[in-house]
Amino acid sequence: MATPKRDTYTPQSLLEVAVAVFNERGYDGTSMEHLSRAAGISKSSIYHHVSGKEELLRRAVSRALDGLFAILDEEHARVGRASARLEYVTRRMVQVLTAELPYVTLLLRVRGNTGTERWALERRREFDHRVADVLAAAVAEGDVRSDVDGRLATRLVFGMINSLVEWYRPGGGAARDTEVADAVVSLVFDGLRAPGTT
Residue 157 is a binding residue for a copy of itself (CB under 8 A): yes
H/E element, 7 = none
Among 3, 75, 159, 169, binds a copy of itself (CB under 8 A): 159
Q: Using alpha carbons only, what angle is made at residue 157 by residues 151 and 159, rounded to the nearest 5 degrees?
A: 100
Choice from 10, 73, 171, 193 touching a copy of itself (CB under 8 A): 193
Dist. CA 124–CA 69, nearest whole Å: 9
Phi and psi at 171, nearest 5°, equal 105, 0
User: Beta-carbon neighbour count of residue 145 at 10 Å?
Assistant: 9
Is 158 a binding residue for a copy of itself by CB under 8 A? The answer is yes
33 near a copy of itself, judged by CB under 8 A = no
Cβ distance to a copy of itself smaller for residue 73 or 191:
191
Question: Can residue 131 be called a binding residue for a copy of itself (CB under 8 A)?
Answer: no
What separation in angstroms does the CA of 33 have from each of 9, 10, 12, 110, 197?
A: 17, 19, 19, 21, 59
Total binding residues toward a copy of itself, as defined by CB under 8 A: 46
Sites for a copy of itself among residues 167-186 (CB under 8 A): 167, 179-180, 182-184, 186
Q: Nearest Cα to 96, choosing from 64, 56, 62?
A: 64
**Buried (b) or exposed (e) across 186-198, using 16+ Cβ within 10 A?**
eebeeeeeeeeee
Q: How far is the CB of 125 from a copy of itself (least distance, A)?
A: 11
Nearer to a copy of itself, 3 or 167 (CB): 167
C-beta closer to a copy of itself: residue 3 or 198: 198
Please report how close the Cβ of residue 160 comes to a copy of itself at its closest, in angstroms.
4
Binding site for a copy of itself (CB under 8 A): 26, 28-29, 83, 86, 135, 138-139, 142-149, 152-153, 155-164, 166-167, 179-180, 182-184, 186-195, 197
